[in-house]
Structure 1
Amino acid sequence: MSAYAEAIERRFGDGGPSANDVEDSDFIRRVLSRKTVRQYADAVPSEALLDLLVAAALSTSAKSDFQQASILRVVDPAKRAAIGALFQSMPWIGVSPVFFVFLGDARRLQRIGELRAKPVKNGTLEGFFNATVDAALAMQTMILCAESAGLGVCPISVIRNEIDKVASILGLPDLVFPIAGLCLGYPRTEGYVSLRLPRRATTHLNRYDDAALPQAIDDYDRRRNARHAIPREQQRSNAEFGEASFYGWSEDKARQAAKAEGAAFPPYLRSHGFSFD
């Protein structure tokens, strides 16, 4: 049995490859075993550690070296409270020891063009996409580094659902937008490893092929339900779709996706510098 087998089984439980004969790496095992943490101890990580995590995040890959990620740390109690009040079902947003917001920053490159008297127009779809990917990579790098230092994290994409209010609280200018927040601190509880889709549903060889998806999803639903079933009272939109006798992950996500989220995000971007040409 490989050094990774237990972590892979806990993450996927799909009977797939378990990295036999691969040399052990503590970092890879940590990645396989990473957890979502929403309850934190009162202790605040040192400023030196937080500075280090920011430096690591900004060391990640960047499209064409444009470096279009920015990181905003929210420490003002009033601002933290104002953001937390927007999402009362997620109290960890307002009370986690540290809260970062990762920003796609298409503004900086456009300003550099102005400084150098070049016709840079970065509000295109490509500019938005590049800044989004840069910021997402930076956030994921911070997540992995924070966990390696004994911290727990929880990404917060829901802030885009209240983009106008969040942007106002944070004073975001045109061409700068949040991709997600990040709660961070020392874990009070262990957190949980989320069971991922079977790899046969998410990996492909030479060509895309999802012919086996229905069976793979049914298998995943039943294994995930056995590990952490969704309580009956947490079924979504029963008035619209009815109560399901078996409510698996796919039913939950299909119901969630049936109602579009983030409706305010596209008009916000268009009114703040993005043409998406």
Structure 2
Amino acid sequence: MADTQGLLQARFGIDMPGADVPDAVAPLVDRRVTRRYTEQDVPDALLNGLLAAAQSAPAKSDLQQFSVVVMRDKPRIKQVADWIGTMDWIATAPVFLVWCGDMRRGQRLCQMHGMKHANNNLDTLLNTAVDCSLAMGQFIAAAELIGLGTCPISYVRNHIERVSPLLGLPDGVYPVAGLAVGWPVFRRPVSMRLPPSVVVHRERYDDSTLADAVGAYDERRRARDPIAPGSLKNNDVYPPREGVGWSENAARQLSVPERFGFGAYLRTKGFDLA
């Protein structure tokens, strides 16, 4: 039987007597990120089974608007790690997956049947990103159920002008995130999440208690896992200091423009974004 309160206490840092975690769901609540991998390989047959699980995720209108590029070549994976610069452990993963939103396939389907593709718009961009994210999430869940470790890497979009040619991505296809996959050297501690009272809304959106709830959350996280000054976001913009909580660190990141050229890049790849 799952230790419901133990799992929830680890994940949220608070008691949650009104919640129950079935045994089948416990591994999802206990999920941890993995940033160090052993040299053990992930067999192709196993990887293919996990990718089949990913393709079994929900898809908008059954359009299945995503693709995934499997990278196993060590020098190529290291090239991506070197471009990112701050995540050298990516290069230790035996598999690196790049999950992509894919409008191109739909365009080609229309061509095959003599029809015009009339949905090159912002909604299609969102649908391709959501299809891709659902598939990646299902892959992560399946992989970690069998003991593999994973870590999503949004930073591939910081170097999209390099990653796309490396992978041969054509117009209509763009990277959403990378995913390092391998057998963990060790299990990291559970990352504390915001309390459900901040994230889960009943019947209508209400963030009237946000400031107090986030303040208490900051204290809980600071007590368990304080942020070192060297790990703060944007230390070149804001002076590093002791005692910064999660919310201020999030604000430090969100207050500086990030990937502001992404829209321009997508337009060069055939997205109208209207």
Post-superposition Cα deviations, 1:202-251, rounded to whole Å, max 9, x if no partner, equal 11111111010000110000100111101123334456434445300011
Q: Does 1:37 align with 2:29?
A: no
Structure 2 CA distance for aligned equivalents of residues 178 and 256 of structure 1? 21
Which TM-score applies when normalising by structure 1?
Answer: 0.94
Structure 2 CA distance for aligned equivalents of residues 174 and 17 of structure 1? 51
Which TM-score applies when normalising by structure 2?
Answer: 0.95
Structure 1 CA distance for aligned equivalents of residues 2 and 143 of structure 2? 26
Structure 2 CA distance for aligned equivalents of residues 46 and 174 of structure 1? 31
Among residues 230, 234, 252, which one is paired with 1:233 in the alignment? 230
| CA deviation after TM superposition for structure 1 residue 16, in Å | 3.1
Q: Does 1:140 align with 2:137?
A: yes
Is the 8 Å Cα contact of residues 41 and 187 (structure 1) preserved in structure 2?
yes
Is the 8 Å Cα contact of residues 30 and 148 (structure 1) preserved in structure 2?
yes
Query: Where do residues 12-31 of structure 1 align in structure 2 (5 Å cutoff)?
Result: 12-20=12-20, 24-26=22-24, 28-31=25-28
Structure 1 CA distance for aligned equivalents of residues 225 and 260 of structure 2? 30
Query: Where do residues 234-273 of structure 1 align in structure 2 (5 Å cutoff)?
Result: 234-238=231-235, 240-273=237-270
1:9 alignment partner in structure 2: 9
3-state SS in 2 of match to 1:241:
coil
Letter in 2 for 1:10: A
Among residues 104, 107, 111, which one is paired with 2:104 in the alignment? 107
Among residues 52, 55, 71, which one is paired with 2:52 in the alignment? 55
Percent identity between the two aligned chains: 39
2:147 alignment partner in structure 1: 150
* Segment of structure 1 superposing worse, 182-191 or 116-125: 116-125
Is the 8 Å Cα contact of residues 175 and 274 (structure 1) preserved in structure 2?
yes
Structure 1 CA distance for aligned equivalents of residues 123 and 149 of structure 2? 33
Is the 8 Å Cα contact of residues 14 and 199 (structure 1) preserved in structure 2?
no
Is the 8 Å Cα contact of residues 74 and 94 (structure 2) preserved in structure 1?
no
Post-superposition Cα deviations, 1:147-205, rounded to whole Å, max 9, x if no partner, equal 01110110101100111111011110001011101101111011231100011111111
Structure 1 CA distance for aligned equivalents of residues 5 and 18 of structure 2? 5
Query: Where do residues 195-214 of structure 1 align in structure 2 (5 Å cutoff)?
Result: 195-214=192-211
Among residues 126, 129, 132, which one is paired with 1:129 in the alignment? 126
Structure 2 CA distance for aligned equivalents of residues 163 and 32 of structure 1? 32
Is the 8 Å Cα contact of residues 110 and 117 (structure 2) preserved in structure 1?
yes
Segments of 5+ residues of structure 1 without an aligned counterpart are none
| CA deviation after TM superposition for structure 1 residue 95, in Å | 2.2
Is the 8 Å Cα contact of residues 8 and 18 (structure 1) preserved in structure 2?
no
Letter in 2 for 1:146: A
Structure 2 CA distance for aligned equivalents of residues 165 and 243 of structure 1? 31
| CA deviation after TM superposition for structure 1 residue 119, in Å | 1.2
Letter in 2 for 1:248: G
Q: Does 1:216 align with 2:238?
A: no
Post-superposition Cα deviations, 1:44-80, rounded to whole Å, max 9, x if no partner, equal 1111110100100011100000011111101233322
**Cα gap change, 1:265 to 1:17, in 2 (>3 Å):** farther
| CA deviation after TM superposition for structure 1 residue 19, in Å | 2.5
Structure 2 CA distance for aligned equivalents of residues 12 and 150 of structure 1? 23
Is the 8 Å Cα contact of residues 40 and 187 (structure 1) preserved in structure 2?
yes
Matched pairs, number: 274
1:191 alignment partner in structure 2: 188
Letter in 2 for 1:105: D
| CA deviation after TM superposition for structure 1 residue 17, in Å | 4.2
Letter in 1 for 2:23: S
